[in-house]
Structure 1
Amino acid sequence: MKTTFTTLFTSLLLLYTLAAQAQVIRRCNNVGVTGTNIYATLQAAHDASAANDIIYLEPSSISYGPLVCVRPLTIIGNGYFLTQNPGLQLDTRESITDAVTFANGSAGSRITGCRLNGSASIGASNITVERNYFNTSYCYIGYNPSVGSVGVSNIIVRQNFIDNGYDVYLYPGSTAATAVSNVNIINNIITGNITTPTGQFTRLSNILITNNVIGNLTGSSSYRIDVDNAVIKNNILTYTGTGNNFTPRNNAYSNNISGNTAFGTANGNQQNVAPTAMFVGGTGSTDGAFVLRAAPNPAIGTGESGTNVGAFGGVNPYRLSGIPNVPTIYQYNQSVTGNTLNATISTRSNN
């Protein structure tokens, strides 16, 4: 009863917030709630939608399945790591999807607050992937599994947690028509790589890679940045071992920190900085462990224009648990006095 009330109220809150807009709110619920504009799978909600509708994935322990998106939509989940970061959502279950493909026709789409148990393949322009948890999957840019390389531009990959050695993979093809341009990869925590196929670097242009953490907390994994034609700043490469985990090529790079000598010391870059000197660590919260520890800390104030380096710095800092920027319920209390039900609902907006 409490869970059903919470998810329903959250949907109504979203509806109230967006009532002045033309979009229709569609709900995904696969735990028995039915009704108008409620669907058991993400694909079914998509297929019933019109351009610019909003699909809310209600918390569940069951995946809402894969999606091939062919129209502009906003997809909103509940966040992740919610039991580790208490007080953010009343319902701590996740909104789980399998593989999501943004195909031709989906330009303008956005997905946020979801756990992806399959890869996100961006095969259309003007796509935003933000505040999601990639648990067993890649984020491909310029790729549609059905057709291969696809030329795309104006892509934002922001504030995601990409785990278990999986990558943000820029995938330009062999021709100018399949080039990848104007991509912002910002404020992510990636225990994997930011990379592209060997030999295809020249078909990348206007790539911005800023305020990411690449690597694990121990500095033991040689995850890398391997792209071209990029501005690379305010990032942390945690690897402390020997070997080349950054190839400059045609990149401008400044104010980055590496656990080895990857960036050198010119242009505000720092080298040979151990992760333990920067992050709070610990086991309480998977993403909270990457918060910067208090000063003195070589990542505090050493980024461009005095910002902090890493995922929690800059103008769009990483948000714990990928809480989407819509109103959320984080507390609910009720009591009965005679025939009166007294309820207190605590909500907050999230930027």
Structure 2
Amino acid sequence: MLRKNFTLFASILLLSLSAQAKIWRVNNNAGVTADFTSFYDALVSTQVVNGDTVHIEPSATAYNSGTVTKRLVVIGGGYLLDPAADGNSGLQVFTANSWINGITIGNGGNGSKFMGIGLPNVVFQVSASAYNVVFERCLINSGMYFNAGAHDGITVRKCFFSSARIEHTSGTLENFTCENNIFYSYWAYINITTFTGSNNIIRNNSFRDVGAGCTIVNGYVANNIFQTSNCVLTNSVVKNNLFSSNQTLSGSATDNQVNVNMANVYVGGTTGGLDARTQLKSGSPAIGAGLTVGAVTSPDCGAFGATDPYKLSGIPAVPSIYSLTVPTSIASGANTMNVTISTRNNN
């Protein structure tokens, strides 16, 4: 029986939502009918309420920026998907990014989560005390900035910072988690001097080809790979890191490696996605050099190690249905037909 192959992009979001929660589509591609063509319009709509999910669908045209003042889940299709533009091949049917021209976290945005999107910058507003905001599997190519204020419970995990930094130098920041991210190119570094409390974690991050050094005060710094200039690590726990520089370490620092030849650490090269080139090469001194994390004993240092490794191209942690095969016709009187669905688990 003849079959026709339909290739499609779809995501099934498996989240616990309230009875009123709804999924909204944002798509600015010509000929596509969606709930909104603009991210801004979705944010200001009175129909979009706390607990809703906003899908930013891939497009060659960037979506405009906006200020988030509601508790939302914002999800895109990933980034670095075009193999002709330093992306990874075969991960999504559509190779365009879900790109937003900047996000500001305003009052009311507490508890929001962002996944699989690309954006130049994230700004935490001066008037907002942002709590429990998560950026996961996102591409950021300018920076993440915290204006003066009290910020608590911010998580940045499995993101790709392309010549982009995280900076918090006024106000306070506590219960901050920065894990399994890749910081790539000259200006991709961390500058945080405002940590309070003892639960601020900088762990299993990979810094590659970074010119500047990181400045971290009052943090827990472990299992990272720093291909950077000398870092300033003040009043911090520093364990099991690799440094390309002749890093000065305090007497309490343990099991760190300095003057590491980074040619022996990363796969590197000029093919494949930029993030894929930051995987560890065979025999890398970062393999098994990390401090135990959860149930993982002696994990690899860097973004691809520990309990929740970096995911190439930031594909969201939801199943994707990427192919559907159905018969072109069925016999008269038939009560059933065979349908083949191809899915991918992106956890």
Q: How does 1:199-348 map to 2 (within 5 A)?
A: 201=193, 204-205=196-197, 206-216=199-209, 221-239=210-228, 245-262=230-247, 264=249, 266-283=253-270, 284-294=272-282, 296-305=283-292, 306-332=298-324, 336=328, 344-348=340-344
Shift of the alpha carbon at 1:102? Answer: 0.9
Write the deviation string for residues 57-97 of structure 1: whole angstroms up to 9, x where unpaired: 11111111101000100000000111332222122221010
Structure 1 or 2: more helix by fraction: 1
Residues 42 and 65, structure 1, Cα contact 8 Å, conserved in 2? yes
Q: How does 1:149-168 map to 2 (within 5 A)?
A: 149-163=148-162, 165-168=163-166
Relative to 1, partners in 2 of residues 1:342 and 1:90: Cα closer, same or farther, differing over 3 Å?
A: farther
Write the deviation string for residues 199-227 of structure 1: whole angstroms up to 9, x where unpaired: xx3554432100111232xxxx4332202
Matching residue's letter, 1:349: N
Task: Say whether 1:55 aligns with 2:54.
Answer: yes
SS in 1 for 2:342: strand
Equivalent residue for 1:169?
Answer: 167
Aligned residues: 316
Identity %: 33
1: CA distance between counterparts of 2:346 and 2:312? 11
Matching residue's letter, 1:187: N
Equivalent residue for 1:138?
Answer: 143
SS in 2 for 1:89: coil
Residues 7 and 322, structure 2, Cα contact 8 Å, conserved in 1? no
Matching residue's letter, 1:41: S
Residues 75 and 117, structure 2, Cα contact 8 Å, conserved in 1? yes
Q: TM-score, normalised by structure 1?
A: 0.82
Q: TM-score, normalised by structure 2?
A: 0.83
- The alignment's C-alpha RMSD in Å is 2.6
2: CA distance between counterparts of 1:323 and 1:202? 32
Matching residue's letter, 1:52: G
Shift of the alpha carbon at 1:248? Answer: 2.5
2: CA distance between counterparts of 1:331 and 1:263? 53
Write the deviation string for residues 126-169 of structure 1: whole angstroms up to 9, x where unpaired: 1001111113x1012x32xxxxx121100001111011x22011
Task: Say whether 1:39 aligns with 2:36.
Answer: yes
Equivalent residue for 1:113?
Answer: 116
1: CA distance between counterparts of 2:180 and 2:80? 17
1: CA distance between counterparts of 2:247 and 2:331? 68
Q: For 2:97, which of 94, 103, 110 is the aligned residue? A: 94
SS in 2 for 1:96: coil
Residues 7 and 324, structure 2, Cα contact 8 Å, conserved in 1? no
SS in 2 for 1:101: strand
Equivalent residue for 1:128?
Answer: 134
Residues 57 and 95, structure 1, Cα contact 8 Å, conserved in 2? yes
SS in 1 for 2:135: strand
SS in 2 for 1:97: coil
